[in-house]
Amino acid sequence: MKVAMCFMLTVSAAYGATVGAAPRPHAAVSVRTYNYAVVGIEQISEARSEAGHIFDGAGISLEWIECRVHSEGAGAACTEPLLVGRDLMLRLVDGRPSPGERVVALGESMLDHEQWGGVLMTIDVFAVRAVAERAATAVSTLLGRAIAHEIGHLLLGSAAHPRVGLMRPLWSHEELRGLKPAQWGFSSREAAKMRETLRQLTRTAN
């Protein structure tokens, strides 16, 4: 059974120290990116750098593949089968809400609870820009954190949200502005679980 889950931004959130010394990356994940929202090259590059930095701290490296979203557009065709434990899919969309509709969800991941994982995530770039503007923070930084959060759900195979760390469900404007302490990484337990999941999937695929 597959279920879509999302995370939200509000004006209050918890904080706690969760990550120790960063291990050297020894696991890799390839992220096929479908840029339907037409995010600019510089902005998406900065977002990838932010997400990559977060996963470096968890001992996992991210590799990015730009996939073609139109028949004559730029990017790779990305028609090869996804490699289990190696490839994920990221959709960047412009989910402009209806008049009067409140923007709260930045993204969602499709989780298969039978397999305890998933490969597809979606980020609403319109929502990211709206929240970044209200919080007076860089769009690329928030986009990178949102991407890392959703990758986390896929690799952890869970829709659960702990009280602290990147995977917490509530991010405040004060935290995003840097006015309130916040942890933007994974806990050591989360990092170890993701690395072990990748090792198991790789062994199974081989």
Q: What band does 13 get if pLDDT is binned at 50, 70 and 90?
A: very low
pLDDT category, 23, cuts 50, 70, 90?
Answer: low
Tell me the pLDDT tens digit for each residue of 54-90: 999 999 999 999 999 987 778 999 999 998 778 999 9
Task: Say whether pLDDT at 8 is over 80.
Answer: no
Burial class (CB in 10 A: 0-12, 13-18, 19+), 171: buried
- What pLDDT sits at residue 112? 80
Q: Are 151 and 29 in contact (CB under 8 A)?
A: yes
Encode pLDDT of 112-156 as tens digits: 876 667 899 999 999 999 999 999 999 999 999 999 999 999 999
3-state percent breakdown (helix, strand, coil) of the chain, nearest 5? 35, 25, 45
With 0-12 / 13-18 / 19 or more C-beta atoms within 10 angstroms meaning exposed / middle / buried, residue 27 is buried
Between 30 and 20, the more confident residue is: 30
- The greatest distance separating any two alpha carbons of the chain, rounded to the nearest whole angstrom, comes to 51
In CATH, which of 3.40.50, 3.40.390, 1.25.40, 3.90.228 is domain 2-13+25-205? 3.40.390
